[in-house]
Amino acid sequence: MSSETKQILTTDGIPLEVSLKKAERKNKIKAFLLVAPLLLFLIITYVFPIGDMLFRSVDDKMVTQMLPKTFKAMETWDGQELPEEEVFAAFHEDFIKLVEDKREGKLSTQLNYTKNGFKSIIKKLRRASKKFEEGNYKEQIMAVHKRWADVEYWRAIQRRAPEFTGQKYLKGMDMYVNEEGKIVSVEEDRRIHRVLWLRTLEIAFFVTVFCFLMAYPIAHLLATLPMKYSNLLMICVLLPFWTSLLVRTASWMILLQQQGIVNDFFVGIGLVADDNRPEMMYNKTGSYVAMTQILLPFMVLPLYSVMKTISPSLMRAGKSLGGTPFVAFWKVYFPLTIPGIGAGCLLVFILAIGYYITPALVGGASGTLISNQIAFHMKSTLDWSFASAMGLMLLSGVLVIYWLYNKIVGIDNIKLG
Amino acid sequence: MASKKDFVKFDKVDKSYDGKVLVVKDLQLDIAEGEFITMLGPSGSGKTTCLMMLAGFETPTNGEIYLDGKAISSIPPHKRGIGMVFQNYALFPHMTVYENLAFPLRVRKIPKDEADKKIDKALSMVSLQGFAARMPGQLSGGQQQRVAVARSLVFDPQLVLMDEPLGALDKNLRESMQYEIKHIHESIGVTVVYVTHDQSEALTMSNRIAVFNDGKVQQLSSPDELYEKPVNSFVAEFIGENNTFGGEVSDISGGKCKVKLANAEILANPISVKGKGERTTVSLRPERALINPSTKMDNLHKGKIEEVIYHGDHTRVRINLLGNPEFILKVPNSSSNLDIKLGNEINIGWNSDDARALDPK
């Protein structure tokens, strides 16, 4: 049949495809061996730790393992009335073991995350449990503190039974599972995370806009100036890259503080009164100014690399065909820079959304971002699972933006250089 | 063509980029309406600068350019209404062919149905019907070039500038495009100013050619005159092939002059020499010299064949003649080939009319 392609053989009679694969196999193995050390390094130092860290955000085995017998006994409990004696007995047994291992403090911390008020009653229970008699633990434990007789607290313990939990994610959205098992928002005066998320998005968005507005003319100049000037300008753009981030942020602190250079200048030219110097640091302004300056090169470079490829004759053609300089720019030049704009904006936005040191130093209370909150939980409260939950939420946010970008502009249109 | 003789007029135009060197010197050039004029010259001779001044992307340092009687130095490029074809086509890569052609019509606010008609006409002129929806990147170099030509003509400009438009094409395509552009010019009668450094392109296409060198027009004349009657040795050298003899005028009379070379004397046609004792370069086209001429010629000398190069339709023979070892002859390849063998001594003859005594190099 003519439609059937005949198998092509090499001169030795081996099918061509087999022969080709054989010839390429060696190269493939070589290539793999070359990248293998790096691959291994990445798996050990990057994939594994990050996976482990992200796993912590849903891992809730700790309480499950501390109170195994209790949770077993609770399986039949419907959660309406106070549990039966066997649950109390199992809880007592688990608790005595924890006291022996001196781990009851951890239990109290963990249970306190679920419901406030566990810390003191567990301390009391520890003291009282030394004098407990055998049998009838329900009576004895309920006598320690009236909360032990409250069914709410037993429900709180029951909620910690599963090995995995999504409650850290809910907490990141200022929500929690209430006593009835419904997902509800926390009281309004305790909602801190939502504000932070919104502020993070807002600051990242405006930093991106400012960077774009400032970088576009710079990149255009870079791409069109004669070599000797453009090199100098390029060095000016790159110079901040070669300076430590901390140094740059610190210099903004010097510039922006109330007795700083910028304020002195404003007073000097009579823009503001000496006794009414504006606060430009430890608020959003500080974050905006410093982050825009620091992230500017990330916008300039992709824009520059795209503009460099646009032939000046295109603008000339636009003008010679009768377009005013603005029309030639808007209809011809600008559309051609969109890949650079996309790349720059995506880069700056993603970097800004996870920015940490600069807002921590110049942002003050109203200029900090979600990453500062993550750091706070990593370093101060040591609630790593919460920190990693928020980290994953941030990561998914970035992925969503990336996906949206791909839908709207197309990721093939991106050009980083 | 009954039309204005000075449709475009360069009036004493000077141009300098750095204030030290004049790229264009005292340019005086009239271009008639409907004419196809080519600015020809080596790179750096100022021809592209002239075109850019005409298009409005450069301003003359001194002097004025007139278009249809109006001084245009202060008119920005987009108001001049001059079509332009760029060296690298300069098609807008993010627009389809249709959108590229629609651009000049849209900015002129021409209604869509009228614009569509114009675009159809322009595309059929370059035989690219059916390509309207393509992106420029999907076209071959020649097709892109045609789109560029169509785009420069679609808004019916009176003047079209072409800046080495065929430079990026291969030889065959370039030749067929030359004819195509020439035919378009003939059929619509638009004035074309064409810049190139390729002399065969210039000779094929133009009504008149302005040969540029060193910021000046060396000669402005029709292709045949330029080739047959170059007025100075730069033009003679630049256009076509050329054999030269450097010498001194020893006698000048009756429209002829004797030029004394190192060890001989030849008869020549005095073009830019006036009197005895002047240094001169005598220029002779290779095809005007014959081997063993049957008719009588007033120059007849013996030379030794140094090299024979086969060129298909003709053979080039390099001869050491009168102290010039680079004397080239073109011999048509016919069955009755003469005694052309390396090392042979042969007789070479030419008429003194064809040997033009020009300025010394």
Residue B316: beta bridge partners? B309, B330
- Provide the 3-class DSSP secondary structure of residue B184: helix
pLDDT in tens, B22-71: 888 888 888 988 899 999 988 888 888 889 999 998 888 988 999 888 88
Residue B101 to chain A, least CA–CA distance (Å): 10
Contact partners, residue A351, CB within 8 Å, separation at least 6? A295, A298
- Examine the domain organization and report whether B168 and B258 are in the same domain: no
Question: Tokens 């030794």 map to which residue?
Answer: B304
Q: Is B55 on the interface with A (CB under 8 A)?
A: yes
pLDDT of residue B104: 92
With contact defined as beta carbons under 8 Å apart, do B197 and B204 qualify?
Answer: no
pLDDT of residue B337: 61
Read off the pLDDT band of B334 (50, 70, 90): confident
Residue that wins the pLDDT comparison between B323 and A220: A220
Proportion of chain B above pLDDT 90, given as a percent: 17
With contact defined as beta carbons under 8 Å apart, do A297 and A350 qualify?
Answer: no
Q: Do B92 and A325 touch (CB under 8 A)?
A: no
Residue B247 has pLDDT above 90, yes or no: no
- Examine the domain organization and report whether B115 and B247 are in the same domain: no
pLDDT in tens, A156-183: 888 888 888 888 888 888 888 776 778 8
Residue A262 has pLDDT above 60, yes or no: yes
pLDDT in tens, A176-223: 877 677 888 888 888 888 888 998 999 999 999 999 999 999 999 999
Comparing C-alpha atoms, which of B180, B182, B179, B210 is closest to residue B195? B210
Q: Is residue B268 in some structural domain?
A: yes
- Examine the domain organization and report whether B216 and B251 are in the same domain: no
In this structure, of B104-113, B300-309, B333-342, the range with the lowest mean pLDDT score is B333-342
Domain assignments of chain A as residue spans, ordered by start = 61-165, 193-413
User: DSSP labels for A107-137?
Assistant: HHHHHHHHSTTHHHHHHHHHHHHTTPPSS-H
pLDDT in tens, A114-171: 788 888 888 888 888 888 888 788 888 888 888 888 888 888 888 888 888 888 888 8
Residue B197 to chain A, least CA–CA distance (Å): 19
- Examine the domain organization and report whether B82 and B216 are in the same domain: yes
Q: Is B92 on the interface with A (CB under 8 A)?
A: yes
pLDDT of residue A417: 52
Q: Is residue B306 in some structural domain?
A: yes
Residue A414 has pLDDT above 70, yes or no: no
Residue B83 to chain A, least CA–CA distance (Å): 6
Q: How far apart are CA B162 and CA B64, in angstroms?
A: 21
pLDDT in tens, A3-46: 455 677 777 778 888 888 888 898 999 999 999 999 999 999 99
Residue that wins the pLDDT comparison between B10 and A367: B10
Q: Is residue B102 in some structural domain?
A: yes
With contact defined as beta carbons under 8 Å apart, do B73 and B149 qualify?
Answer: no
In this structure, of A275-279, A319-323, B72-76, B88-92, the range with the lowest mean pLDDT score is A275-279
- Examine the domain organization and report whether B94 and B135 are in the same domain: yes
Comparing C-alpha atoms, which of B187, B197, B181 is closest to residue B44? B197
Look over chain A and give the mean of its residue pLDDT values, rounded to a whole number: 86
Q: How far apart are CA A214 and CA A279, in angstroms?
A: 23
pLDDT of residue A380: 87
Instruction: Among B188, B206, B233, give the residue marking a domain's end.
Output: B233
Instruction: Among B233, B263, B284, give the residue marking a domain's end.
Output: B233
Q: How far apart are CA A291 and CA A77, in angstroms?
A: 55
Residue A303 falls in which region: left (phi positive, over 0), alpha (psi -120 to 50) or beta: alpha
> Which range of residues forms the domain containing residue B220?
8-233
Contact partners, residue A56, CB within 8 Å, separation at least 6? A384, A385, A388
- Examine the domain organization and report whether B111 and B58 are in the same domain: yes
Q: What is the DSSP letter of A189?
A: G
Q: What is the domain-level CATH number for residue B328?
A: 2.40.50.140
Order the strands of the B314-321 sheet from edge to edge.
Answer: B290-291, B345-350, B299-310, B314-321, B324-332
Q: Is residue B38 in some structural domain?
A: yes
**CATH architecture entry for A193-413:** Orthogonal Bundle (1.10)
- Examine the domain organization and report whether B110 and B147 are in the same domain: yes
Q: Is residue B300 in some structural domain?
A: yes
Residue B179 has pLDDT above 80, yes or no: yes
Residue B345 to chain A, least CA–CA distance (Å): 56
Q: Do B77 and A320 touch (CB under 8 A)?
A: yes
Q: What is the DSSP letter of A330?
A: I
- Examine the domain organization and report whether B314 and B337 are in the same domain: yes
- Highest-confidence range of A210-214, A252-256, B41-45, B270-274, by mean pLDDT? A210-214
Q: Is residue B2 in some structural domain?
A: no
Alpha-carbon distances, residue A320 vs A203, A369, B215 (angstroms): 42, 50, 24
CA A364 to chain centre: 20
- Provide the 3-class DSSP secondary structure of residue A41: helix
Q: What is the domain-level CATH number for residue B124?
A: 3.40.50.300
Q: Is residue B52 in some structural domain?
A: yes
Total structural domains within chain B? 2
pLDDT of residue B195: 92
Comparing C-alpha atoms, which of A212, A224, A234 is closest to residue A314? A224
Q: Do B90 and A323 touch (CB under 8 A)?
A: no
Residue from the list B56, B87, B93 with its beta carbon closest to the beta carbon of A336: B93
- Examine the domain organization and report whether B208 and B258 are in the same domain: no
Q: How far apart are CA B297 and CA A291, in angstroms?
A: 88
Contact residues, chain B, for A413 at CB < 8 Å: none
Proportion of chain A above pLDDT 90, given as a percent: 17
Residue B340 has pLDDT above 50, yes or no: yes
Residue from the list A311, A319, A335 with its beta carbon closest to the beta carbon of B78: A319
Q: Is residue B1 in some structural domain?
A: no
Q: How far apart are CA B293 and CA B338, in angstroms?
A: 11
- Provide the 3-class DSSP secondary structure of residue B32: coil
Residue A404 has pLDDT above 80, yes or no: yes
Residue B283: beta bridge partners? B244, B356
* Type of residue found at B127: S
Residue that wins the pLDDT comparison between B260 and B207: B207
Residue B1 has pLDDT above 60, yes or no: no
Look over chain B and give the mean of its residue pLDDT values, rounded to a whole number: 86
Q: Do A322 and B88 touch (CB under 8 A)?
A: no
pLDDT in tens, A22-33: 888 989 999 999
Q: Is B155 on the interface with A (CB under 8 A)?
A: yes
Order the strands of the B70-71 sheet from edge to edge.
Answer: B22-31, B8-16, B62-67, B70-71
Comparing C-alpha atoms, which of B3, B10, B1 is closest to residue B193? B10
Instruction: Among B233, B266, B289, give the residue marking a domain's end.
Output: B233
What pTM was estimated for this model as a whole? Answer: 0.77
Read off the pLDDT band of A416 (50, 70, 90): low
Q: Is B17 on the interface with A (CB under 8 A)?
A: no
pLDDT of residue A210: 95
Q: What is the DSSP letter of A178?
A: -
Instruction: With a threshold of 0.85, tell me whether the complex ipTM lies above it.
Output: no
- Examine the domain organization and report whether B210 and B252 are in the same domain: no
